[in-house]
Amino acid sequence: MKYISTRGRAEPVDFVEACLAGLAPDGGLYVPEEWPQIEPARAGESYTDLAIRIISAFAGDAMSVDDLADICEQAYSSFSHRSVAPVRQTSPNRWMVELFHGPTLAFKDVAMQFIGRFYDFVLAKRDRRMTVICATSGDTGGAAAAAFAGSKRVDLVILHPHERISPVQRKFMTSTGASNVLNAALEGDFDDCQAMVKRLFADTDFADEIHLSGVNSINWARIAAQTVYYAYVQAALGPERPLRFVVPSGNMGNAFAGYVAHKCGLLAGFDLICAVNENKTLANMLETGEMKRIPAVKTPSPAMDISVPSNFERLVFDAAHHDAASVRQMYEQYAQSQQAELPQDAMVEFENILLSARPVSNKATTEEMRKMLDDTGELICPHTAVGTSVSRCLRATDACTIVVLATAHPAKFPETVKTATGRDAPLPERCSAVAQEEEVFSILAAEDQTVRDWIRAGISRV
């Protein structure tokens, strides 16, 4: 199993090298040269066994099944629900998959718990140490901190947009007390954080100096691990049952994982809708065929406050039939002028593979949280509310079962939940200590030299 870059100017690598590198050296994202065909989930197959089987298919001969089994068993033992991603019915032919039973109460845990153990295993075997960098719009940073805190092989650097995430989200990433976890709040929005990460990778001297890797959804291991819950849901609701997934979408790692599950034969069919908040760049791209930078605005669903989703590049590459030259030209043009036309071949393919719903307003998001409480007696997070709001506009039938991905626990957004519903959303007891821990983070200007100097200084103290 070989992995190639979406930009077409990097040598093919195996699964381990693709995951350790994060970003390809030509600035592209790694994808499999060919999609492996994987048998769908079997009746009675546990989540962990399914994860071992699916991730092994992506790893090929780069890792043994026994080693991957050890990693997966450790990763998913940390979840509070034995199903890892339990499915519950919200109304006739409407279901919700709960992806918030990991250590930091967000879907990012599903992949990050695997990645933390994967890095430790591989780096110990190679007697190497790396610096892992993570730009976060809220939940990735906390999930990475929980996965890497105390690692003897990884220094973790987290960049988040200053005052643009919830206090609880921030505390999960800034209060580990681990000396190998460094946190900075950059002045700007998430796109500034994500752009900073890409520039640090592009500075090859610096990247080589600190042995840089990344665990945003640019990292293929994130995508591979997230395909598992799509296959698990398909088995839970019936192996032949057509499902329509509604995915709250920011950086599109979650949505792209569903696309990958489809390409690998893990789903009975493929129908996926990306639900977006007032940051509607994705909806605009699919409607107009033009990628254009629009500054992100603050919303009640901050993890989705993203202008241009990074995983869209993988989708364009596959939809354009691996035309790396077109992808490279598109992103070079975007880097120069902050706008670019999508390849025509990709636009034709998008009509069959991806839908984006009408953006959900801030008002509609909070109203949806109240409606779901009235309808089900349950609190939901504002990101999940974007998804359930979109799902209300869809017709559920025996031939079209709707599944909304619940991406985070409502306790991560207590202020928003309280405002929307009048109800408190306390942290589960297993996480309650987070609120009392001391936070450690720096506030930095989004300037390359400032961030480089801060990272050097932080690593030298570890």
Q: Catalytic amino acids?
A: 108
The residues near 447 (Cβ < 8 Å, ≥ 6 apart) are none
Q: Backbone phi, then psi, for 367, in 5-degree steps?
A: -65, -35
CA dist., res. 124 & res. 119, Å (int)? 8
Give the residue among 334, 18, 51 at the shortest CA–CA distance from 191.
334
312-319 helix and 324-337 helix, angle to the nearest 10 degrees: 140
Which residues on adjacent β-strands are paired with residue 95? 89, 403
Q: How many CA atoms lie within 13 A of 369 on its CB side?
A: 28
Q: How many CA atoms lie within 13 A of 419 on its CB side?
A: 11
Give the residue among 355, 87, 349 at the shortest CA–CA distance from 230.
87
- Pair 214, 455: CB distance under 8 Å: no
CA dist., res. 462 & res. 441, Å (int)? 15
